[in-house]
Structure 1
């Protein structure tokens, strides 16, 4: 099952870097900038179901992959994604994975991730954009887009997880 999640996250990584770049508002000349973060949504959803070590391993490795391919510095996205995924994992231990709880957790996780990355880039001087302008033209449209695109990701991962879980329950009852 973990190999399937890795393959799914790789597909999301490829989609956010290729297909979605042609469909976003900045490609059509808009002043609003949407940054697709499908892998972040996928890792936040996976953190609701998998153990802590897998969540941190997936988050750090895909964050480092994102840093190598897109980032100006290595480790910024890896740290931010691992921290947010761990926070979502801790939140998931207190609540059952209802749809509205997952939605709130993903929106909070996306917001924390985006603010962490912006803060690190601002600290290291990779961006000089003022916070209010960045918040209105980059962060809010990004959060709206990623919250909407996280729902199908959640439904797919939930379906795969429940299918695997039901198959395991049936197998365990046959064995006993």
Structure 2
């Protein structure tokens, strides 16, 4: 029973922690010139899609995308559509990607890159931001990717073991 809902609980905890971490590294708080945007929840959604299947990636991407839109975004639907679509496209559950940690890391990193550029493009298109691409790339994109990539390298293997444990528990229930 606990195994069934553990992923949702962990995703929700990451959702809350992301907002807290962003407040700690807020650029205007300490004079820090860079924006570090944690995408840990989205990375876990992508990992769930890779290890559990496309349906899980799509469901969690849309569900937590709605939460993201309500809490963190000015415009509803941007994160819902972006997280849902990207997690559906990149939830490639073939054994080569599931068994190869480096390919898993590259796939999830590519997903974060797509989400960052999608959100920046939509915000620019809708006139919500007037940030230039150079400023976005240097002050937000690179620091965000370095932080998220470091997090991903550290936690991918333990998360892979956790997903294998969950798969084993789900098979026992059936």
Q: What TM-score results when the alignment is normalised by the length of structure 1? A: 0.86
How far 1:65 sits from its partner (Å)?
Answer: 0.3
Alignment-derived partner of residue 154 in structure 1: 156
Distance 2:71 2:96 in 1: 35
Distance 1:29 1:154 in 2: 32
SS of the aligned residue for 1:133 comes to helix
How many residues align? The count is: 169
Any runs of at least 4 consecutive aligned residues in structure 1 with deviations exceeding 4 A, and if so which? 166-169
Distance 1:34 1:166 in 2: 36
Does residue 87 of the first structure (1) align with residue 89 of the second (2)?
yes
CA contact (8 A) 2:4 2:170 kept: no
Q: What TM-score results when the alignment is normalised by the length of structure 2? A: 0.87
Distance 1:12 1:135 in 2: 25
How far 1:150 sits from its partner (Å)?
Answer: 2.1
1:31–1:168 CA distance, 2 compared to 1 (3 A): closer
2:116 equivalent among 109, 114, 117: 114
Does residue 58 of the first structure (1) align with residue 60 of the second (2)?
yes
- What are the within-5 Å matches in structure 2 for residues 90-169 of structure 1? 90=92, 92-93=93-94, 95-97=96-98, 98-166=100-168
Distance 1:113 1:131 in 2: 15
RMSD: 2.1
Distance 1:100 1:153 in 2: 12
Unaligned regions of 5+ residues in structure 2, if any? none
Unaligned regions of 5+ residues in structure 1, if any? none
How far 1:163 sits from its partner (Å)?
Answer: 2.0
1:124–1:2 CA distance, 2 compared to 1 (3 A): farther
1:57–1:109 CA distance, 2 compared to 1 (3 A): same
